[in-house]
Amino acid sequence: MVVPNPPPATLDDLYRVEGKAELIAGRIVRDMAAGRLPNRVAKRIVFSLDTYATQTGVGEAFTDNIGYAIRPPLANGRESFSPDASYHAGPFPTNQWKFIEAAPTFAVDVRSEGDYGPTAEAQMADKRDDYFLAGTAIVWDVDPDAETVTVYRTTDPDTPTIYHRGEVAEAEPAVPGWRVPIDSIFD
């Protein structure tokens, strides 16, 4: 008996998924829920970004369940992102119930317990490449274990800047003038 392949999933299918997921090559890829530490770290980054957006009147900060729809899809089939924290300068959809139809201006991925080792490093590098291909200017790789923030820029993705405790991180030029002390993220 031949079992037919299911049709590729669409953004409409993704809207109906409960929890965090992304659409890649016609497949809905679910993410595991975050533990307390990575969630707390992401929350602190979002709070700081939200304060910045409110004070400047530019853009919005988002938590980990926002959907960014990528149209047209990337060559590898990726059609969406759902970073752990993000900032988007606009434009925003007229229908506020829908995903943002663009890449985030600034994306933050906070490592969870399973995000270490060679396989995880390769997957994170591939996702960063996807962000940059879609138009994201800055991607942060936040490591709660090492208490570091590694900043990747689309203009020079192979030369990241690493911030440690006692330092102040930034996301220039994506979030102009925004600064966050590393200690405030991890304390």
Helices (H) and strands (E) in the chain, counts: 4, 12
Specify the CATH number of the domain 34-186. 3.90.1570.10
Task: Give the pLDDT of residue 3.
Answer: 65
Q: How far apart are CA 61 and CA 55, in angstroms?
A: 12
The answer for residues whose C-beta is within 8 angstroms of residue 162's C-beta and 6 or more apart is 148, 149, 150, 151
pLDDT digits (tens), the chain, 187 positions: 666 777 888 888 888 887 777 778 788 777 766 778 999 999 999 999 999 999 999 999 999 889 999 999 999 999 999 999 999 999 999 999 999 999 999 999 999 998 999 999 999 999 999 999 999 999 999 999 999 999 999 999 999 999 999 999 999 999 999 999 999 999 8
Task: Give the pLDDT of residue 98.
Answer: 92
Task: Give the pLDDT of residue 83.
Answer: 96
Task: Give the pLDDT of residue 133.
Answer: 97
pTM reported for the whole predicted model: 0.90
Q: How far apart are CA 85 and CA 16, in angstroms?
A: 21
Q: How far apart are CA 77 and CA 79, in angstroms?
A: 6
Residue 182 three-state SS: helix
Task: Give the pLDDT of residue 1.
Answer: 65
Q: How far apart are CA 151 and CA 104, in angstroms?
A: 15
Sequence spans of domains, the chain:
34-186
